[in-house]
Structure 1
Amino acid sequence: MTKIKVSAVSYTNSVPFIYGLENSPIINHIELSKDYPSVCAQKLLENKVDIGLIPVAVIPKLNHYEILSNYCIGASGPVRSVILASFCPLNEIKTIYLDYHSRSSVMLSRVLAHKFWNIRVKWTDTIEGFENRINKNEAAVIIGDKALLLEKNFPYVYDLAEEWIKYTGLPFVFAAWVSNKPLGNLFKTEFGNALKIGINSIDKLNQCFDFSHLPPHIDVLDYFKNNIDYNLDEQKQKGMNLFLKYAEEIQ
């Protein structure tokens, strides 16, 4: 039987999902890879995988898609791992560097700048190491574990989830589990159950995974419980739909 190819995000925020997938019967039916969010998206767009934990900004680009499960990478408050970092306040920023790992966070920064911050800046694509080359009147969108590592290195740090919530009153969805082809109901149920196992196992994840790459001030379990919101509920769907509407308007 051909295994379903699944691309999960390789960041700390996705560890509960990875644990669930690797410790449930679904692992016998999938081929699991771990990638940066932008790579997850590209793999799904190019049909190199069947399911991806993809940036929601990419969803409209898929010819066929189905959102799987009631789980996501979302935030109902500060997310900490998606930031705009700068040496100056918002109104003095002239250039914003865009994390090459990102799709949704890059688009979120554009939406915030256009719709709410009312700033005009030069948007600049990046390569590895960009976060070390930020100068005066410049800022960078930094995501994932890099953001957790660097959050104390800048005098001005804007949490993009917190900014979105401040202006819209809605939570934000960064990534969702999406398939690019029809899948059987039994598989979809088992896949959702696997993700649930992971979310219900958060309290023991620091015994199962090595988080030593993160700085000592990061309480990983607190991050899982109080910064990432994994439930794709009705309010998050509203937030996601509004974000996609705004994204379409500014493109």
Structure 2
Amino acid sequence: MAQLRVSAISFLNTAPLMWDFAHGNVGTGFDVHYTLPAQCAEELRQGSADIGIIPVFTYALIPNLVLIPDIAIATKGVVRSILLISKVPVEQIKSVALDTSSRTSVNLTRVLFSKFWDGERSFISHPPDLDQMLAKCDAGLLIGDPALRAKTAGYHVYDLATEWKKFTGKPFVFAVWAIRMAALTGNDHATKVVEIFQRSRDNGLKPEHVDELAREWSPKIGISERDVHEYLTHNIDYHLDAENLEGLALFFQYCEELKLIEKAPELRFLPAHNWFSK
């Protein structure tokens, strides 16, 4: 039986989701490799990956995907790892350098400016180097680990999830596990995908495992173990509950209104356990 190819994100925020793959034993059914969020989506689109944790925005762009239910990278408030860092207050920003690593945060930035921050600005795509971004533009968007380690003293800093919550009252969903339907048909491993991925998330969030992740990732990122622990347990929400789904639906609605996508997509979820064996 062919392995299911899994494209995962190489950021701290996915570490609990990948616990059983990195530290446990999920068998030989999966071939896992790590990359950036935008590349995960591209690999699903091209068919070089079967399962990927993708920026939610790209779910609207890639046909024939289904989601693993109740797993997400989301936040109910402050996220800390999606930052707009600016030399001037937000109302004075005229140009923004956008981190090339993700599509969701880029389009959240566009939504915030268009809906709540007095209109459009000029945007350029840029690798996540804050000094170079601010040399070219008034502000820079950083996501993931570069945002967590960014030196922001002296700048105006806007946590985009906080801004979203302030204006909409909703949480924000950044990424989800998506699967190409064609890859699952006739694959025996597919019958347990939901169970395997949800269990990996649950195991990764056990207190003793979060402690281990904090020890492992602190030297990688250059922030304290306490900050890593706080980030994984208080800033990131790993469930796709009803409240998070409301926030996701509103984001897609705004993206459609602003013509960032053609149409808000219908969310389709992979049924649990034996659906594929029927």
TM above 0.5, one fold? Answer: yes
Describe the shift of the 1:214–1:187 C-alpha distance in structure 2 as closer, same or farther (beyond 3 A): closer
Q: How many residues align?
A: 250
Bigger Cα displacement from structure 2, 134-143 vs 48-57: 134-143
Cα distance in 2 between the residues matched to 1:78 and 1:151 = 18
1:225-246 deviation per Cα after TM superposition (whole angstroms, max 9, x unaligned): 1111111111001111110111
Match of 2:6 in 1: 6
Residue 181 (structure 1) shift? 1.3
1:26 is displaced (CA, Å) by 2.5
For 2:86, give the aligned amino acid: S
Letter in 1 for 2:248: M
How many angstroms does 1:47 deviate by? 1.0
Counterpart amino acid of 1:101?
A: S
The alpha-carbon deviation at position 98 of structure 1 amounts to 0.7
Supply the AA of the counterpart residue of 1:196. Answer: D
Answer yes or no: is 1:55 the counterpart of 2:55. yes
Contact kept, 8 Å, 1:98 with 1:141, in 2: the verdict is yes
- For residues 88 and 247 of structure 1, the distance between their equivalents in structure 2, rounded to whole angstroms, comes to 26
Structure 2 counterpart of 1:84, one-letter code: L
The normalised TM-score by structure 2 is 0.84
Partner Cα distance (1:179, 1:231) in 2: 17
In the alignment, the residues of structure 2 paired with residue 60 and residue 100 of structure 1 have an alpha-carbon distance, to the nearest angstrom, of: 18
Q: Deviations over 1:167-199 (max 9, x none)?
A: 111100000011111633323222322222222
Q: CA deviation at 1:15?
A: 1.1
**Cα separation, 1, equivalents of 2:89 and 2:196:** 47
**Structure 2 vs 1, CA of residues 186 and 18 (structure 1 numbering), >3 Å: closer, same or farther?**
closer
In 2: Cα distance, 1:133 partner to 1:107 partner = 18
Structure 2: where are the runs of 5+ without partners? 185-189, 260-278
Instruction: Tell me the distance in 1 between the aligned counterparts of 2:120 and 2:193.
Output: 46
How do residues 13-28 of structure 1 correspond to structure 2 at under 5 angstroms?
Answer: 13-28=13-28
1:24-39 equivalences under 5 Å are 24-39=24-39
How much has 1:136 moved relative to structure 2?
8.5
Structure-1-length-normalised TM-score: 0.93
Q: CA deviation at 1:131?
A: 4.4
Are the aligned partners of 2:67 and 2:178 in contact in 1 as well (CA < 8 Å)? yes
User: How far is the alpha carbon of 1:250 from its aligned partner?
Assistant: 1.0
Contact 1:3 1:31 in 2 (8 A): yes
Q: 2:221 maps to which residue? A: 214
1:129 paired with 2:129, answer: yes
Amino acid at match of 1:190: I
1:151 Cα deviation after fit: 4.8
Alignment of 1:1-251 (within 5 A): 1-127=1-127, 129=129, 131-135=131-135, 138-181=138-181, 183=184, 184-200=190-206, 201-207=209-215, 209-216=216-223, 219-251=227-259
- Asked if the contact 1:10/1:36 (under 8 Å) is kept, the reply is yes
- Measured in 2, the distance between the counterparts of 1:27 and 1:149 equals 35
Asked if 2 retains the 8 angstrom alpha-carbon contact of 1:170 and 1:235, the reply is yes
Distance 1:151 1:248 in 2: 35
Q: What amino acid is aligned across from residue 144 of structure 1 in structure 2? A: G
Cα 1:27–1:107 change in 2 (3 A) is farther
Q: Which has the larger radius of gyration?
A: 2
Please, which runs of 5 or more residues in structure 1 have no aligned partner? none
Is the 1:88–1:137 contact (alpha carbons within 8 Å) kept by the matching residues of 2? Answer: no
Matched residue of 2:101: which SS?
A: coil
CA RMSD after TM alignment: 1.9
Give 1:20 shift. 2.7
Query: Which shows bigger deviation, 118-127 or 104-113?
Result: 118-127
Letter in 2 for 1:146: P
